Structure 1
Amino acid sequence: MDALDILTDLENVIPFFQPIFSADEHRVIGYEVLGRYISENQLTSLGSFFQDDQIPEEYKFEVDQLLLVKALEKALESNEDFYIFLNRTADLLMYNHGEPFLNELLAFEKRGLNLQRIVLEISEQNYQGDINQLDHLLQYYRTYGIKIAIARIDSDSNYFDRIGQLEPDILKINLQVLKSTTTGTAFNDILFSLSLLARKIGATLLFENIEMEYQLHFAWKNGGRYYQGYYLSKPASEFIEHDLLKDRLKEKFHDFILYGKKRLESFYSTSDFFQVKVQEIILKSKKTSYEELFELLMKEMDQIAFRMYVCDEDGFQQSPNFFKGKDGWGIQKEYINKNWSWRPYFLENIFKMRNEKKGILSDLYSDIETGETTRTFSFPMNPTEFLFIDIAYNYLFEHDDLL
């Protein structure tokens, strides 16, 4: 694409709008503005134009501002109240200290546009400028009611640090990675951390590039409130009816809810199963020694567990590890007196078990030593001793509702 062709034919540079749907309302809540160029009746994305490092920043800025004006003109013509998502790289945003961009928004505000409808998607990829000046500019924009979304951060940057510094209103998560066959549990763990962080700072998760139903389900079960992608609606030159997919989304989310309920029923059923089974074993053993208890446990849970041990209420390990390796069960005495209270939720779970006098089945996580996906069943043997049983992946796989 020749940049000069575009710059000498700006009337054929037009905005396209990709709808963004919400989980709570099942309707369109906003549009992301995308650039298109019409040439000889062919429609071309301007993505490569803005990503081309050989094109001067002033050229990109001129086209970006034109798209902004044309998009906001259309938004003013509409009687609907929706968010307008505007993409900006950090370099383009800092062009002339960010004043032309803000001045254009303020001009539209005078014409009736509520700036609280504006969501600025900021990408810091390859940004070499002063990060503090960028942050000050973004905070200044916020004083006008403009919302901030983090679209992409340079791989050399500390993603979580930047989220903590900016405290964005929206975190965008690209689901393109789900197409890769190499996507593993680490991606799920990162998403879980992001969802916790978003909750802490009051941010909303927006999942983009949803192209198949399983990606929509993935976004829903991982705390996504907003959704965007070709599976839902392709970009177009006009706004769509905001309730167009309401019935379809309601039906899909109902299916997701039923599936989620089924998984929860399986989770609590398994927890109850372990509660009864472990309680019976402990009553049988009368715990004359840890060895006697674990002999019974290994016999009864040979196909279920791969590690078992006992800790006190402060997290100090009282027993050795009873660990199942390739050659069967073995004893790891070196773990006696190690302390595990530093683990997330450890002390909270100890108090919960003590107060409720019943065991707890953990969420999924990757074991530090084996790397195996597991869950742990924790059980209060008495007010000061707590049994921990790590569940083997094979058992979880055979009961796939637990994965």
Structure 2
Amino acid sequence: MSLKLFPYFQPIVETATGRIAGYEALARMKDENGNTVSAGRIFSDKDLSVKERIELDRDVRLQALQQIQSLPEDTFISINISPEWLQYLESLDSIPTLEMIKQLAVDPSKVVIEITELDGDLDVIQRLVERYREEGFCIAIDDFGTGFSQLDRIALLKPDIIKLDMTLLKSGSTDSRRASMVQMLGELASKLGSKVLCEGVETDDEYYLALSCNAVYVQGFLFSEAQSEMLLPDSTTKQVKDLLSHYRDMAINATSRSHWRAEKVKAELLSLREVLKAASSDEDLQYFVATEHLMRFYICDRLGNQISPNFENSDKGWILNEKHRGFNWSWRPYFFELLGSADTKNRLVFSEPYQDIHTGQRAQTAVLFIDDSRILLADLLDEGQETDLFNGFSAMPASWIPEIG
């Protein structure tokens, strides 16, 4: 076989320390001009037989494992395993990669087995994962987020590390809806007990988005492309320290703006509450002029039943929409959080930020008591934050409960 593949190593950076925690082994080859390029296409090249592709894959993996002896202290190597090749094994009792590892007497704590595909036979993949886990290796799942069909597989396999799909990360750095999706996936991975790794990080903004996804590790050209030699673990600490400092400053400023805006909202909602207390009919509200960020409000009883129409804010005044009268909103977290407060009369609760389904704009809901029997719910536009990476900070803090008495 004339093709010669070899491993390069891309650092995996730990967000909490800034140091390199591990290295992903990636297959490389020389092109016709002698340049080092990715060999990824080789493994799906139909001009090569399956046997040839498998042999190339195993050879580059063996070369990577042989370099563990030069692995810096307290770091690991991540090697890619495709379940696709398993169908060509006679039995899972003898797995070539496991045999390599045993022959090289590799410390299991130095290796992360990265499963690159989840579309194959789930039973086979699960048995593969169990075999590696029995030997003491950590398991990573690649490209999480490419399809929700993966969710049942993730729950079943219980990976130690979940790598978020890099295409989602890139689009999320400029699109607030996609950013929310990536953050949701990061939160889900954490709740499943897996460490989050964001790969493909190339810009500061993508790194900041990774932090908002609870990423334990990050990987990408922002820190280093794959190299023939493993970088020293401390080579990224200064860069990460500077990035974290800038992120912290932006987050503090955004949070300060959030609290300032919360005070403005509080004053407006207190004024609205006084109007509602005195109002004897819906017509009594026609003279209350709200700022543009108050999109709508409505009233519920203590059981969560909506007892008023939606009052929609428009340039023509209040538009009354009866569509949701009688709906019950007691199941929403901000509702029962208000009811569970020790001093319900003097509390204002905000929901998590969300995309308003009626306008498509970023919003939050504020909730407070009007009197002992009625509750005011106000949907507020999160002004100017549609593409802000710090939308989680710039909106009022979720479930924040300031004094209003």
The normalised TM-score by structure 2 is 0.85
Residue 353 of structure 1, CA deviation: 8.0
Change (3 A) 1:234 1:356: farther
| Alignment partner of 1:323 is 2:312 | yes
Task: Provide, for residues 356-378 of structure 1, a one-character-per-residue CA deviation record: whole Å limited to 9, x for no partner.
Answer: 83212333211233332212222
Q: Write 1 or 2 for the structure with the bigger share of helix.
A: 1
Report the equivalent of 1:385: 374
Change (3 A) 1:24 1:364: same
**Counterpart among 54, 59, 66 of residue 59 in structure 2:** 66
Report the equivalent of 2:400: none
CA distance in 1, matches of 2:322, 2:190: 41
**Counterpart among 82, 88, 107 of residue 89 in structure 1:** 82
36-45 or 159-168: bigger deviation: 36-45
Question: Which letter does structure 1 place at the counterpart of 2:21?
Answer: I
Residue 181 of structure 1, CA deviation: 9.6
**Counterpart among 261, 274, 278 of residue 265 in structure 2:** 274
Report the equivalent of 1:80: 73
Kept in 2: contact 1:122–1:152 (CA 8 A):
no
Task: Provide, for residues 103-137 of structure 1, a one-character-per-residue CA deviation record: whole Å limited to 9, x for no partner.
Answer: 222223xx3x3212322221226x4x421121122
CA distance in 2, matches of 1:199, 1:156: 18
Number of positions where the alignment pairs a residue of Structure 1 with one of Structure 2 = 388
Report the equivalent of 1:370: 359
Task: Give the SS at the match of 2:265.
Answer: helix
Kept in 1: contact 2:295–2:379 (CA 8 A):
yes
38-47 or 193-202: bigger deviation: 38-47
Kept in 2: contact 1:307–1:321 (CA 8 A):
yes
**Counterpart among 227, 235, 241 of residue 250 in structure 1:** 241
Kept in 2: contact 1:16–1:238 (CA 8 A):
yes
Task: Provide, for residues 305-330 of structure 1, a one-character-per-residue CA deviation record: whole Å limited to 9, x for no partner.
Answer: 11110122332112110013575421
Question: Which letter does structure 1 place at the counterpart of 2:367?
Answer: S
Would you identify which runs of 4 or more consecutive aligned residues in structure 1 move more than 6 Å?
397-401
Report the equivalent of 1:22: 14
* Mapping of residues 130-145 of structure 1, within 5 Å: 130-145=121-136
Task: Provide, for residues 160-192 of structure 1, a one-character-per-residue CA deviation record: whole Å limited to 9, x for no partner.
Answer: 222222222111123344555996333223223
The normalised TM-score by structure 1 is 0.86
Change (3 A) 1:261 1:394: closer
Task: Provide, for residues 189-248 of structure 1, a one-character-per-residue CA deviation record: whole Å limited to 9, x for no partner.
Answer: 322321221221111111111111111112112221211111111111111111012122
Task: Give the SS at the match of 1:137.
Answer: helix
Change (3 A) 1:397 1:87: closer
Residue 140 of structure 1, CA deviation: 2.6
* Mapping of residues 104-253 of structure 1, within 5 Å: 104-108=100-104, 111=105, 113-124=106-117, 127=119, 129-152=120-143, 158-177=149-168, 179=170, 184-253=175-244
**Counterpart among 285, 293, 298 of residue 304 in structure 1:** 293
Q: Percent identity?
A: 26
Task: Give the SS at the match of 1:225.
Answer: strand
* Mapping of residues 45-56 of structure 1, within 5 Å: 45-56=38-49
Change (3 A) 1:369 1:283: closer
Kept in 1: contact 2:114–2:141 (CA 8 A):
yes
Change (3 A) 1:176 1:369: same
Change (3 A) 1:374 1:290: farther
Task: Give the SS at the match of 2:113.
Answer: strand
Task: Give the SS at the match of 1:229.
Answer: coil
Q: Which runs of 5+ in 1 are unaligned?
A: none
Change (3 A) 1:170 1:351: same
Q: Which runs of 5+ in 2 are unaligned?
A: 396-405
154-163 or 59-68: bigger deviation: 154-163
Change (3 A) 1:370 1:354: farther
Task: Give the SS at the match of 1:376.
Answer: strand
Task: Provide, for residues 138-176 of structure 1, a one-character-per-residue CA deviation record: whole Å limited to 9, x for no partner.
Answer: 123212222221213696661322222222211112334
CA distance in 1, matches of 2:59, 2:80: 13
CA distance in 2, matches of 1:119, 1:277: 54
Question: Which letter does structure 2 place at the counterpart of 1:221?
Answer: S
Kept in 2: contact 1:35–1:67 (CA 8 A):
yes
CA distance in 2, matches of 1:141, 1:309: 56
